[in-house]
Amino acid sequence: MFKAKHSITLLFNANKVYDRQVIEGIGHYLQSSKVDWDVYLEEDFLCRLEHIQEWGGDGIIADFDDMEIQRALAGASKPVVGVGGSYANAQDYPPVPYVATDNYALVQAAYEHLKRKGLDRFAFYSVPADENHRWAAERENAIKKLTAKDGYDCQIYSGHCTRPETWQYAMNRLTDWIQSLPKPIGIIAVTDSRARHLLQACEHVGIIVPDNIAIIGIDDDDIARYLSRISLSSVTQGCFEMGYQAAKLLHTQLNNIDVGRKRILVSPVGVASRQSTDFKALRDPYVIQAMHYIRRNASRGVKVEQVTDFVGISRSNLEQRFRAERGHSIHTELHNQKLTRACKMLIDTQVNPTEIANLCGYPSLQYMYAVFKRHFGQTPKEYRMARGEAFVDQAVND
């Protein structure tokens, strides 16, 4: 009968993108190290926490941002590795081996990204304070320190919990807040889901993103990105590395090596820059309106005439203003928006070129082929293969 050398339980919420990526990193360690582990992951583990000390396994890796989990594992007789957020105060860390996402570095990456866009006004959209959102408080403190160091003010709004019964009230108050902010401004959202609230609120009251408000989140969550018309810029956490390091720490303990209260701080992977922070300090209100329309509708195959109809001035007038602000024509902007999206889809997805041509507003696959040949000397398929090979080569060299 099969029996693994060690039985391990994972206390994570697999419905959260952060937790899933940590679990993926743990799985990668299992595959690469060939450890003989039987891994137990239960979706509804919280209902069994009161009996977790009775579990007959050998080790635990757990989400220590959840205080209920942390309390349930206090004084555990089996090896435990905690995973969660970092703390400015060393005394706030739990008394177990711990792998942390660097909260300060996450916020710093978002802040520096907005500064590089030329913004000099900043705000932070957080979550209501409670014991399970200590990581959010750390991120708030980080943005306060960063902006104060540079001599900037930062307006912080915690908002409200967004349950079904409070959703409308919460969004109305969020709308009040963003309307009260000076413009243009860059807002860092404590998570991507909170960033999506901002995008929805801006759309509801007609605030143009990113020209009036540039928005960046934290998590690089596909769900938050795809549910918004404006693609969301976001800081990618090193969750995969966190999971890998947590599994490695537990493996060390299971080999009877004492690691004490070792802490590992994991830096963010980087910033995924998208439309929501594509801020270029436009000043002409007509050009701002035109860019807003183009960003939202270029992939629908709109023409220059539809842009000028939306703005409500003559084509010659808008063309003159557009060239003065952007340095090129409206037609070129429409072309660039479609081409940029097509290139990104070819690199980041496995969607076939015919569907990409349709999604990006090209009249036919043949037309998109001609565009790629003219710009890159390659077909879309060749472009995808070349970028894919370059990515593989870079990964191998790294």
* pLDDT reported for residue 392: 36
Q: Is 80 helix (H, G, I), strand (E, B) or coil?
A: strand
DSSP assignment letter at 65: T
Q: Is 265 helix (H, G, I), strand (E, B) or coil?
A: strand
* pLDDT reported for residue 239: 96
Name the residue among 11, 12, 14, 3 with its Cα closest to residue 36: 3
* Tens digits of pLDDT across the chain (398 residues): 344 589 999 999 887 888 999 999 999 999 999 888 999 887 665 556 666 766 668 999 999 999 999 998 998 889 999 999 999 999 999 999 999 999 999 999 999 999 998 898 999 999 999 999 999 999 999 999 999 999 999 999 999 988 888 999 999 999 999 999 999 999 999 999 999 999 999 999 999 899 899 999 999 987 766 677 788 999 999 999 999 999 999 999 999 999 999 999 999 999 999 989 988 767 788 998 898 899 889 999 999 999 999 999 999 999 999 998 888 999 999 999 999 889 989 988 889 999 999 999 999 999 999 999 999 999 999 999 887 654 333 333 33
**381-398 pLDDT, tens per residue?**
999 988 765 433 333 333
**234-250 pLDDT, tens per residue?**
999 999 999 999 999 99
Backbone angles phi, psi at 14, to 5 degrees: -70, -5
User: Residue-wise over 122-139: b if at least 16 C-beta within 10 A, else e?
Assistant: bbbbbbeeeeebbbbbbb
* pLDDT reported for residue 1: 34
Question: Angle 24-25-30 (CA atoms, 0-180°, nearest 5)?
Answer: 95
Distances (CA, A) of 118 to 78, 114, 149, 207, 323: 52, 7, 17, 19, 20
Beta strands in the chain (DSSP E): 6-11, 37-41, 59-63, 80-85, 98-101, 122-125, 154-157, 185-189, 213-218, 233-236, 263-266, 270-272
Enumerate the β-bridge partners of residue 85. Answer: 101
Distance in angstroms (rounded) separating the CA atoms of residues 174 and 177: 5
Q: What crossing angle do the helices spanning 330-348 and 380-397 adopt, rounded to 10°?
A: 60
DSSP string, 309-378: HHHTS-HHHHHHHHHHHHSS-HHHHHHHHHHHHHHHHHHH----HHHHHHHTT-S-HHHHHHHHHHHHSS
Q: Name the residue with tokens 């919990």.
A: 161
Asked whether the beta carbons of 30 and 247 are under 8 A apart, the reply is yes
Q: Name the residue with tokens 């994570």.
A: 12
Question: Angle 113-243-126 (CA atoms, 0-180°, nearest 5)?
Answer: 40
Strands 270-272 vs 233-236: parallel, antiparallel or unpaired:
antiparallel
Distance in angstroms (rounded) separating the CA atoms of residues 279 and 209: 8
Q: Is 136 helix (H, G, I), strand (E, B) or coil?
A: helix
* Torsion sign across C-alpha atoms 272, 213, 167, 156: positive
Question: Angle 195-201-202 (CA atoms, 0-180°, nearest 5)?
Answer: 90
Distance in angstroms (rounded) separating the CA atoms of residues 275 and 260: 45
Q: Locate all alpha helices (DSSP H) within 154-238, ordered by sequence.
A: 167-180, 192-205, 222-226
Q: Which domains does the chain have, with CATH numbers?
A: 6-101+239-269 (3.40.50.2300), 103-236+272-277 (3.40.50.2300), 285-391 (1.10.10.60)
The tokens of 235 are what?
Answer: 């800081």
Distance in angstroms (rounded) separating the CA atoms of residues 144 and 137: 11
Q: Is 266 helix (H, G, I), strand (E, B) or coil?
A: strand
**Identity of the amino acid at 54:** E
* pLDDT reported for residue 16: 82
- CA 97 from chain centre, in angstroms, equals 27
